[in-house]
C-alpha cells in the first residue's frame, strides 16, 4: 500500500469504531465536577473554542482530501498516479505539527459536567492522541527524511515551543496553501451543507444518544455523503488545469459541506431542546460525508473530473521507486510530506 493510501483505511475505521463505541457506551452517574456561574461559562467557552478550532484546522489549514485519504482512493479507483502532498505552513501549524491533536484536549476535557465515564474517555483518547503523534513523527522521518527535519526542529509536537523557539517555523520557506485561493468557489458547499443539517435533523432528531440513535446517525451520514457528493460533483466545475489542484478544490468544498451540515444539525437541536447533541455523532457524520462525499462527487461526473489525470507510471519506474533505499534522496512527494501529513 502506498504511503498515503493507508489514510483511507484509517478514516473508515474511525467511523466504524466511534459509532460502535458510542452505541455500546455505558453512562455512569458519578459526577466528578458540575460547574456553574463563571467557571461554567469559562469551561463552555474553552470547549466550544476547541470544537471551532477543530473545524477551522480541517477547513483552512489542511487539504482534507489528502488528510483523510479520499484523493488517494479516487486516484486508485481511476487507476491513475496518486496525489503528491503539498507542504505549507499556515496559522497554528507554524508552531505545532499536530494542532488537531491539540484541539482534542479541549474537546474532551472542557466539559462543565464531567462524569467518570466521560473522564475515562477523555484520558484514553488523549493518551492515544499523544502516542499517535509520536509515531506519526517517526513515520514522517522515515518517509521524508531530511525534508522533514527543519520543520520538526522548529515546531512543537502538540504544544507550541514557547520557550525553545517562539517564532516556530515562521521563517522556514514553504509553499502557500491554494485550496482557498478563490473562496467563492466553495459557496455551494456552504449552501448544500445547510440543507444537509436539516436532513440530519429529520432523520436523527435533535439528539443522538441511544444505540439506535447512533445507527441512525451512521445511516444519515452515509445518505448525506451520497446525496451531497453526487450533487456537488455534478454542479461544480474544475477550476484548475492540474488534477491534484482540482481534487483539492473539490474535497475542500465537500469538507465545507460536511462541517456545515454537522454544525447546522447541532444548532437546530440545541435551539429545539436547549441541550447540545451528543458529540459522539459529530465525528462519524463529519468523517463519512467528508470522505465518501468526495468519492461520490468524483463519481458523479467521472469524465469531467478525470480529464487531467496522469496515467500510472510503467512497472520499471515503479520497481525503481520501491527498491530505493531509505537513506537515499527522497522523492518529491515524500519531501512534500512536511506540512500535510499531520492531519487526521
Residue-by-residue DSSP string for 276-316: PPPGGGHHHHHHHHHHHHHHHHHHHTHHHHHTTPPBPPPHH
Instruction: State the pLDDT at residue 1.
Output: 63
Q: What are the contacts of 270-273 at 24+ separation with CB within 8 A?
A: 272/206, 273/206, 273/207
pLDDT of residue 329: 35
Over residues 284-297, the pLDDT tens digits come to 888 889 888 999 99
Contact 169, 94 (CB under 8 A): yes
Task: Pick left, alpha or beta for residue 168 (phi over 0 → left; psi -120 to 50 → alpha; otherwise beta).
Answer: left
Grid cell of 34 as nine digits: 458540575
pLDDT recorded at residue 313: 54
Cell (9 digits) for 288: 463519512
Strands (E), the chain: 31-34, 113-115
- What burial class does residue 317 get, using C-beta atoms within 10 Å of its C-beta: 0-12 exposed, 13-18 middle, 19+ buried? exposed
Question: Nine-digit cell at 94?
Answer: 507554524
The burial of 78, by beta-carbon neighbours within 10 Å (0-12 exposed, 13-18 middle, 19 or more buried), is given as middle
pLDDT for residue 286: 86
Taking only the tens place, the pLDDT of each residue in 247-261 is 889 999 999 999 999
Place of cell 515551543: 161
**Structure confidence at residue 86 (pLDDT):** 58
pLDDT confidence of residue 170: 81
Residues pairing with 47 in the sheet: none
Q: What is the pLDDT along the chain (344 residues), one digit of tens a residue?
A: 666 677 777 777 877 877 788 778 888 889 888 888 899 899 989 988 998 898 888 888 888 888 788 888 888 777 777 666 656 667 888 888 889 889 999 988 998 889 998 899 899 889 988 998 898 888 878 777 777 888 888 888 888 888 888 888 888 887 777 788 888 999 999 999 999 999 999 999 888 877 788 888 888 999 999 999 999 999 999 988 888 888 889 999 999 999 999 989 989 998 988 877 777 788 788 888 988 899 999 999 888 888 776 665 544 444 434 333 333 333 334 444 444 444 44
Place of cell 466550544: 48
Backbone angles phi, psi at 70, to 5 degrees: -70, -35
- Give the span between the Cα atoms of 12 and 96, in whole angstroms: 26
* pLDDT for residue 85: 61
3-state helix, strand, coil in the chain (%, to 5): 65, 5, 30
SS3 state at 342: coil
Amino acid at each position: 500500500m502506498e504511503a498515503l493510501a493507508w489514510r483511507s483505511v484509517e478514516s473508515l475505521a474511525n467511523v466504524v469504531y466511534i459509532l460502535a463505541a458510542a452505541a455500546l457506551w455505558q453512562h455512569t452517574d458519578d459526577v466528578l465536577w458540575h460547574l456553574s456561574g463563571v467557571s461554567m461559562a469559562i469551561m463552555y467557552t474553552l470547549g466550544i473554542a476547541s470544537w471551532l478550532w477543530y473545524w477551522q484546522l480541517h477547513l483552512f489549514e489542511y487539504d482534507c482530501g489528502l488528510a483523510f485519504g479520499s484523493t488517494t482512493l479516487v486516484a486508485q479507483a481511476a487507476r491513475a498516479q496518486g496525489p503528491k502532498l503539498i507542504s505549507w505552513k499556515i496559522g497554528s501549524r507554524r508552531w505545532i505539527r499536530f494542532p488537531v491533536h491539540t484541539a482534542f484536549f479541549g474537546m474532551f476535557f472542557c466539559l462543565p459536567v464531567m462524569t467518570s465515564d466521560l473522564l475515562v474517555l477523555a484520558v484514553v483518547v488523549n493518551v492515544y492522541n499523544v502516542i499517535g503523534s509520536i509515531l506519526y513523527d517517526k513515520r514522517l522521518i522515515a518517509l521524508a527524511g531530511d525534508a522533514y527535519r527543519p520543520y520538526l526542529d522548529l515546531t512543537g509536537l502538540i504544544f507550541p515551543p514557547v520557550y525553545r523557539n517562539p517564532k516556530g517555523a515562521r521563517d522556514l520557506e514553504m509553499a502557500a496553501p491554494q485550496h482557498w485561493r478563490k473562496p467563492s468557489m466553495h459557496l455551494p458547499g456552504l449552501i448544500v451543507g445547510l440543507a444537509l443539517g436539516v436532513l440530519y435533523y429529520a432523520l436523527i432528531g435533535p439528539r443522538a444518544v441511544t444505540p439506535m440513535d447512533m445507527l441512525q446517525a451512521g445511516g444519515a451520514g452515509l445518505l448525506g455523503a451520497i446525496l451531497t457528493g453526487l450533487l456537488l460533483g455534478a454542479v461544480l466545475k474544475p477550476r484548475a488545469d492540474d488534477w491534484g489542484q482540482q481534487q483539492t478544490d473539490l474535497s475542500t468544498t465537500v469538507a465545507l459541506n460536511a462541517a456545515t451540515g454537522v454544525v447546522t444539525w447541532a444548532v437546530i437541536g440545541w435551539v429545539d431542546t436547549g441541550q447540545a447533541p451528543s458529540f459522539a455523532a459529530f465525528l462519524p457524520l463529519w468523517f463519512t460525508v467528508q470522505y465518501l462525499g468526495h468519492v461520490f462527487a468524483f463519481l458523479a461526473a467521472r469524465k469531467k473530473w478525470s480529464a487531467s489525470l496522469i496515467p500510472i507510471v510503467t512497472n520499471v519506474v515503479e520497481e525503481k521507486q520501491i527498491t530505493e533505499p531509505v537513506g537515499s534522496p527522497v522523492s518529491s512527494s515524500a519531501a512534500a510530506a512536511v506540512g500535510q501529513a499531520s492531519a487526521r
